[in-house]
Chains A and B, each alone.
Chain A
Amino acid sequence: MEESSRRTFLKLAGFSALGLGAKPVLDAFASSGGVQSKPMVMKGEKALQAKRWALVIDTRKFKSEKDLEPMIEVCHKIHNVPKLENKRHEIKWLWTEEFKHIFSSQTHDFLDERVKDLPFLTLCNHCEKPACVRACPTKATFKRADGIVLMDFHRCIGCRFCMAACPYGSRSFNFRDPRPFIKETNLKFPTRMKGVVEKCNFCAERLAVGKIPACVEVSKGALAFGDLGDSKSKVRELLSSNFTIRRKPALGAGPSVFYIV
C-alpha cells in the first residue's frame, strides 16, 4: 500500500509538470495566428529602378557657362547646398571645369577652339569601383545596388579620407555650419551640419518617387539619364551611336558619367 501510494504520487506529479510546461507552448501557437501583423518596409510604388544608373552629357549642346547655370542652380537649390564665397569652404554638387582640368590626361596644346574654352559639367561620377567607399572607415559612403554612390550623413565622422581618395574632387567638406549660407531652404530636403562631407546623390530622393534627376529635367535634352544594364535605355542608345569619353579612365574607377565631346 505504501509502495503504491508513492508510485501514484510520482505519476501525478509527472503529469502535472508536463501540463504546466505545455501551456506556454500552446499559448505561443495560439497567438502566432493572430490578426496583428508585423510592420513592413518597402520601396515606393513609383520608384525608378535600374541595374546601374548613368548620365550622358552631350557637351555639343552647350555654348557657354550660361547654358549650364540653370542645372547647377536647380541642383543646389533643391538639395540645400550652401553658397560660400570663400573658395576653400566652397560646397559643390554640380559645377563646371575646363577641358584641360577635368580631362587632364587627354588634353594637349592644340585643342580645337570650341572645346578649349567650353565649360564642362562636373559632378560625382558614381563609379563602378568607388575609391571613396573603400576609404571610408565608417561605411558612411556606400554603393547602392543600382550603382549610386551615396552618403549617409548620420554616419559621417568628417575624417575626409573619401575626399583624399576621390580622384575627381567630387566631394566637399562642411568647414562651417552651412545653414546661414542657404538662401532659400527646401523644406522637403535636409541640410547638412558642420563637419560632414557631401556630394551629388544622383537625386536618389527623386528617383524614389519616380522622377529623373533635376539637372536632367532642366537640361533641355542635353543630359540623358538611364540604366546601363538595359540595352534599350536612352543612355545605351546614345553611347552606341556617339563616341564618348570618361574622366581618368586609366585609374579603373569606372565612372558612370559619360561625355560626348
Chain B
Amino acid sequence: MPKKKMYDRGKVFAGLAVFVVLLIFPFLLNLGKAAPAPELKLSDKAKAAKECVESKAYMTANHMQLLNEWRETVVRNAQRVYVNSSGKKFEMSLSNTCLDCHTEKAEFCDKCHNYAAVTPYCWDCHVDPKETM
C-alpha cells in the first residue's frame, strides 16, 4: 500500500481545533455557573397554614394538573368546592384561594416559572391583586 500524504496538515488540525473550541464555547463560558434552583418565599399566611390543599410534594409535582382539573370542574361542571384527602374543604379558585395564601405571586409562582422557563397564561385573565392595585 502506497503511503498517502496529508496535505496542509497543520492548517487542517488548527482549523479543527478552532472549530471545536467555537462549538463548545457556550459551555465553557457558563462552566460552573449553573443557576441555582430558586428558593421560594412563603408568605406568613402560607407558613402558618403549614399544608397546602394537598401535601407539599404532591403540590410541587402536580399543581398544574390539579389546577387543570379545578378549572374544568368549576367552569364546566359548576362544582366549586374541593374536598382534599383529609376531608378539608376549599373553594376552587386561583385568585381567591391560591393567591389568598400565596400572596406574593412574584416570589412564589413567578420565581419558579421563570427558572423553569415556563409561561403559563393563567395571569392573562386571572387577577393578581398585587399587580392590579
Contacts and interface: CB of A to CB of B under 8 A. Distances in A.
B80 A150 contact: no
B9 interface: no
Interface in A136-186: 142, 144-146, 150, 152-154, 185
A39 B124 contact: no
Interface in A22-59: 36-44, 47
A188 B125 contact: no
Contacts of A203: none
A185 B124 contact: no
B43 interface: no
> Which of under 10, 10 to 19, 20 to 34, or 35 or more describes the interface residues of A?
20 to 34
A43 B96 contact: no
B71 to A, nearest CB: 6
B81 A190 contact: no
Contacts of B77: 41
A193 interface: yes
Interface string A194-211: 000000000010001000
A96 interface: no
B81 A44 contact: yes
A187 B127 contact: yes
B119 interface: no
Nearest to B73: A41
Interface of A: 36-44, 47, 80, 142, 144-146, 150, 152-154, 185, 187-193, 204, 208
Interface of B: 54, 71, 73, 75-85, 87, 91-92, 95-96, 121, 124-127, 129, 132
Given A187-B95, A190-B126, 5 more contacts: A39-B83, A47-B78, A145-B78, A187-B127, A190-B95
6 contacts: A38-B85, A41-B77, A42-B83, A43-B81, A152-B75, A193-B124
